[in-house]
Amino acid sequence: MNTYTVTLIRGDGIGPEIAESVVEIFAAAEVPIQWEEAYAGLACLEKFGTPIPETTLESIRRNRVALKGPTTTPIGGGHRSVNVAIRKAFELFANVRPARSIPGVQTRYNDIDIILVRENIEDTYAGVEYWQTPDVAESLRLISRPGSSAVIRYAFDLARRLGRRKVTCVHKANIQKLSDGLFLECFRAIAQEYPDIESDDILVDNACMQLVLRPERFDVMVLPNMFGDIVSDLCAGLVGGLGVAPGGNIGNGYAVFEAVHGSAPDIAGKGIANPTAFILSAVQMLHHLGLHADAERIESALRYTLVSGIKTRDLGGNANTREFTKAVISNLPPRSQVRAQNEPVTTPYYTPMPEPRSTAGESWQTVGVDLFFHALQPPTDLPERVGSLQLHAISNRGIALLPEQTNRYLINWYRARYLAAQPVSEAEVAELLNTLMPRLHWTTVQRLYRTRDGADLFSPISTD
Ligand code: NAI
């Protein structure tokens, strides 16, 4: 039998208590996993002077799979987030959060079974933000074709691997026509490669309503980062909240599993933490490794324990962490009762197919420039035309300034759009910028492209 070595980071706060619970359950269930302990978090900072030592990263690099307890991140200062450091080091591009009803945990529904796959690196989480004026902060919402394709492909592969019926893309492409439009375009293209799996898409606002009204409509969901963050909490709420919400971060050849909740400093050291979410994260890890029979065995013991009324305080029971763990161990079913089969994977990690780089950009032609600038009043002296580039509009908060609208509330960040009917040369762009830049307190310059077929690759300026 294959034995896997997995990096175990117990973390801090309640981390060591819930990690011990998993270690004991895995030992009792004779799961073919050998732990390699590594350190991260507050205790690690005190001991080694860093919240995430290089030896921990090396361990994950070596084993490719890690189970991580929560780690405390100080707010507004202090050391950097361990989670962000790990996510960046291993490019963990997909955050997989299953939400499955647990009998014995009282919620509005008892039949939820959704797997949410959230893009984990891009979107506003790329963290590209700027102050444009003292009154305007800007956050770039970055959506890329390779980034979107990787997470979408992962969602379809996961659906196929787990025998799921449907993948739903959640987006806001009616408003964010280019960025969410790209995410949806990637989804539709990749869906064609999986004819055995149904696919559909839904706007994120409607998705939230449908999740509350008809959650059975969803099976596997795939979303850009920020929507995924919000909607996954909604899904966690549907099945009982933080105490039961597991998760896994999947990257190029690496996977790190952890509960959604944090280090719960308010109850740390009291021995009363609920290990359910962490146990479920470990179960998710077993599925990732192909150890489906071990996963099913532990999950059914956990479910049986909760149904039998043994629960920690956060779920309305009075068991402490140790009592709960012992009960799960005593409820492990015999192996003969488990239907799932172990299918150990020889490469226990996921590497997405490298996406061919799109060559579409070769046919893009520059037809204009958006120049953003800081001004207290709308400028009245901008040239109507520089070379073949014509002043198309001056806008504020995305809306064109029209002479008749004198009572609009204007912020102090404007945009001047210059457009040409035909593609322009670099010399013409330079001439425009040389003319405008000395006149304006400019903050951002944005090139405007059009394809050879005449499609504009920028959003129009709204006149409403
Ligand atoms: P939290 O999830 O740690 O706690 C929120 C509330 O839920 C608390 O009242 C806590 O007692 C309760 N709770 C959470 N997990 C529980 C469990 N397993 N059993 C029983 N009760 C539980 O969130 P909070 O307080 O916002 O964050 C505390 C620290 O955790 C912060 O430093 C934060 O940065 C860090 N954090 C770390 C994460 C990670 O390492 N993956 C994720 C989220 C937060």
Element (H, E) at 287: helix 276-288
Please classify residue 28 by burial: count the beta carbons closer than 10 Å to its beta carbon, then call 0-12 exposed, 13-18 middle and 19+ buried: middle
Residue 85 has a pLDDT of 84
Distance CA 247, CA 191 (A): 24
Asked if 8 and 37 touch (Cβ cutoff 8 Å), the reply is yes
Helix (H, G, I), strand (E, B) or coil at 37: strand
Residue 360 has a pLDDT of 83
Sign of CA dihedral 192, 196, 200, 204: negative
Residue 347 has a pLDDT of 62
C-alpha separations of 48 from 9, 61, 68, 235, 283 in Å: 15, 20, 18, 38, 31
Residue 14 has a pLDDT of 97
Residue 73 has a pLDDT of 81
Residue 77 has a pLDDT of 61
Q: Which residue from 44, 26, 25, 42 is spatially nearest to 34, judged by alpha carbons?
A: 26
pLDDT: is 258 or 354 the higher one?
Answer: 258
Distance CA 86, CA 80 (A): 11
Q: Is 72 in the pocket of ligand 1 (CB under 6 A)?
A: yes
Sign of CA dihedral 191, 192, 198, 203: positive
150 alpha carbon – ligand 1 mean position (Å): 29
Ranges for all domains in the chain classified under CATH 3.40.718.10:
1-100+240-356, 108-236
The DSSP symbol for 143 reads -
Domain 1-100+240-356 has CATH 3.40.718.10: yes
Asked if 275 and 18 touch (Cβ cutoff 8 Å), the reply is yes
What is the phi/psi pair of residue 295, to 5°?
A: -60, -50
Q: Which atom of ligand 1 is nearest to the CA of 41?
A: 40
Asked if 461 and 398 touch (Cβ cutoff 8 Å), the reply is yes
Closest Cα to atom 36 of ligand 1: 262
Identify the weakest region by mean pLDDT among 18-22, 179-183, 312-316, 337-341.
337-341
Beta bridge partners of 385: 390
Q: How many CB atoms lie within 10 A of CB 149?
A: 22
Q: Is 263 in the pocket of ligand 1 (CB under 6 A)?
A: yes
Q: Is 340 left (phi over 0), alpha (psi -120 to 50) or beta?
A: beta
2 alpha carbon – ligand 1 mean position (Å): 34
Q: Is 17 in the pocket of ligand 1 (CB under 6 A)?
A: no
- Give the burial string for 80-110 (b: 16+ CB within 10 Å, else e): ebbbebbbebbbbbbbbbbbbbbebbeeeee
Ranges for all domains in the chain classified under CATH 3.30.70.1570:
364-451
- Give the burial string for 400-438 (b: 16+ CB within 10 Å, else e): bbeeeeeeeeeebbbbbbbbbeeebeeebbeebbeebee
Helix (H, G, I), strand (E, B) or coil at 375: coil
pTM: 0.91
Q: Which atom of ligand 1 is nearest to the CA of 70?
A: 40
> In which residue are the tokens 């504020």 written?
396
Percent of the chain with pLDDT over 90: 80
Closest Cα to atom 5 of ligand 1: 264
- As a whole number, mean pLDDT of residues 208-220 equals 97
> In which residue are the tokens 């830049």 written?
437
Distance CA 114, CA 423 (A): 48
- As a whole number, mean pLDDT of residues 48-77 equals 89
Domain 364-451 CATH (choose: 3.40.50.11540, 3.40.50.300, 3.30.70.1570, 2.102.10.10)? 3.30.70.1570
Residue 348 has a pLDDT of 54
Mutate to test the pocket of ligand 1, among 10, 83, 260, 261 (most ligand atoms within 8 A of CB): 261
Q: Which atom of ligand 1 is nearest to the CA of 11?
A: 40
pLDDT > 80? residue 378: yes
CA angle 451, 427, 414 (to 5 degrees): 70
Residue 353 has a pLDDT of 64
Residue 76 has a pLDDT of 58
Topology of domain 108-236 in CATH is Isopropylmalate Dehydrogenase (3.40.718)
Give the pairing of strands 166-171 and 136-139.
Answer: unpaired
Q: Is 44 left (phi over 0), alpha (psi -120 to 50) or beta?
A: alpha
- As a whole number, mean pLDDT of residues 307-311 equals 95
Using pLDDT thresholds of 50, 70 and 90, give the confidence band for residue 218.
very high
Q: Is 261 in the pocket of ligand 1 (CB under 6 A)?
A: yes
Closest Cα to atom 15 of ligand 1: 261
Q: How many CB atoms lie within 10 A of CB 152?
A: 26
Q: Is 267 in the pocket of ligand 1 (CB under 6 A)?
A: yes
